[in-house]
């Protein structure tokens, strides 16, 4: 039932989410905040399918990781919106308080479900599911001595949610390391994989090319495919 519950059952219900506000995380990254409908829950790290409803557009539905934790009592999505905007992202920017979008989900298996030492690897905007995961860990305060290490790589050194991540690292046993090159990322991965090998779990989120490259690197260092979870981001 786990696969069915994670991937299919939540799609049977479409929910209207009321828009509350949006704000910038950086020059070209925005967070959109929606009311959390009563009874709605998800596992930190999952994604939903979000549909524009205030106008008719081509390709009006797109997947986004939910960047908020269930304990925050709001639904947040965070996305990059540059000068060359798709019709979908233009529609997001047009939202005003009280307007609705619809969501199916959240779904997916990109969440922590074991007590193994865990390495989280984020590339750029791929930090969004990890924000949810770490906020949930902070709220639960039940990870004990569980080893969780976040590697956050961003060539532009923007590091979204940095203040929040640093605060979580101070208040929990989570470690956060900021990187700006693939070589640095590989060095940190080796430190962890040499220590834990296949006793550890490995989560990768970011652009598809980065996710596949890091997955291949892990496997070349004798990390089993079964211990790797991937969340590849595509442009909207």
Per residue in 147-161, pLDDT (tens digit) is 899 999 999 999 999
**Sheet of 118-123: strands edge to edge?**
175-179, 148-153, 118-123, 201-207, 228-233
Looking at the fold, whether 181 and 225 belong to one and the same domain comes out as yes
- Give the domain-ending residue among 65, 87, 107: 107
Q: What is the mean pLDDT of residues 165-183?
A: 94
- Give the domain-ending residue among 83, 107, 131: 107
Q: How far is CA 106 from the centre of its chain?
A: 12
Report which of 223, 216, 215, 220 is spatially closest to residue 195, judged by C-alpha positions: 223
Report which of 96, 114, 117, 98 is spatially closest to residue 43, judged by C-alpha positions: 114
Lowest mean pLDDT among 37-41, 46-50, 97-101, 175-179: 37-41
Looking at the fold, whether 81 and 166 belong to one and the same domain comes out as no
- pLDDT(5) > 90: no
- Give the domain-ending residue among 67, 84, 107: 107
- pLDDT(2) > 70: no
Confidence of residue 13 (pLDDT cuts 50, 70, 90): confident
Quote the domain boundaries for residue 33. 2-107
Q: What is the pLDDT of residue 12?
A: 60
Q: What is the pLDDT of residue 213?
A: 96
Q: How many CB atoms lie within 10 A of CB 46?
A: 23
Looking at the fold, whether 29 and 125 belong to one and the same domain comes out as no
- Span 19-48, pLDDT tens digits: 999 999 999 999 999 999 888 999 999 999
Q: What is the 3-state secondary structure (H, E, C) of the chain?
A: CHHHHHHCHHHHCEEEEEEEEEEEEECCEEEEEEECCCCCCCCCCCEEEEEECCCCCCCCEEEEECCCCHHHCEEEEEEECCCCCCHHHHHHHCCCCCCEEEEEEEECCCCCCCCCCEEEEEEHHHHHHHHHHHHHHHHHCCCCCCCEEEEEECCCCCCCCHHHHHHHHHHCCCEEEEECCHHHHHHHHHHHHHHHHHHCEEEEEEEHHHHHHHHHHHHHCCCCHHHEEEEEECCC
What CATH number should be reported for the domain holding residue 7?
2.40.30.10
Mean pLDDT in the chain? 91
**Roughly what angle, to the nearest 10 degrees, separates helices 208-220 and 182-196?**
40
- pLDDT(144) > 90: no
Which residues are within 8 A (CB) of 19 and not within 5 positions of it... i.e. 6 or more apart?
Answer: 32, 33, 34, 95, 96, 97, 98, 99, 100, 101
Looking at the fold, whether 123 and 224 belong to one and the same domain comes out as yes
Q: What is the pLDDT of residue 3?
A: 46
Q: What is the mean pLDDT of residues 9-25?
A: 85
Q: How far is CA 104 from the centre of its chain?
A: 17
- Span 67-82, pLDDT tens digits: 999 999 999 999 999 8
Q: Is residue 113 part of a domain?
A: no
Confidence of residue 4 (pLDDT cuts 50, 70, 90): very low
Q: What is the mean pLDDT of residues 216-229?
A: 95
């Amino acid at each position: 039932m786990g696969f069915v519950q994670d991937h299919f059952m939540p799609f049977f219900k479409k929910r209207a989410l009321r828009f509350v506000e949006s704000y910038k995380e950086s020059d070209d990254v925005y967070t959109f905040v929606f009311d959390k409908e009563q009874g709605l829950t998800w596992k930190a790290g999952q994604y939903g399918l979000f549909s524009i409803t205030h106008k008719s557009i081509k390709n009006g539905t797109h997947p986004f990781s939910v960047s908020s934790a269930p304990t925050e009592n709001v639904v947040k999505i965070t996305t990059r919106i540059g000068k060359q905007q798709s019709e979908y992202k233009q529609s997001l920017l047009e939202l005003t308080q009280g307007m609705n979008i619809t969501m199916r989900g959240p779904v997916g298996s990109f969440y922590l479900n074991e007590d193994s030492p865990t390495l989280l690897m984020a590339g750029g905007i791929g930090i969004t599911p990890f924000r949810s995961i770490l906020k949930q860990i902070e709220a639960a305060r039940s990870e004990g001595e569980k080893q969780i290490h976040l590697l956050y790589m961003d060539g532009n050194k923007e590091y979204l949610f940095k203040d929040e991540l640093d605060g979580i690292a101070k208040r929990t046993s989570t470690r956060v390391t900021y990187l700006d090159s693939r070589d640095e990322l590989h060095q940190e991965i080796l430190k962890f994989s040499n220590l834990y090998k296949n006793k550890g779990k490995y989560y990768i989120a970011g652009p598809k090319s980065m996710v596949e490259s890091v997955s291949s690197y892990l496997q070349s260092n004798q990390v089993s495919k079964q211990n790797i979870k991937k969340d590849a981001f595509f442009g909207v």
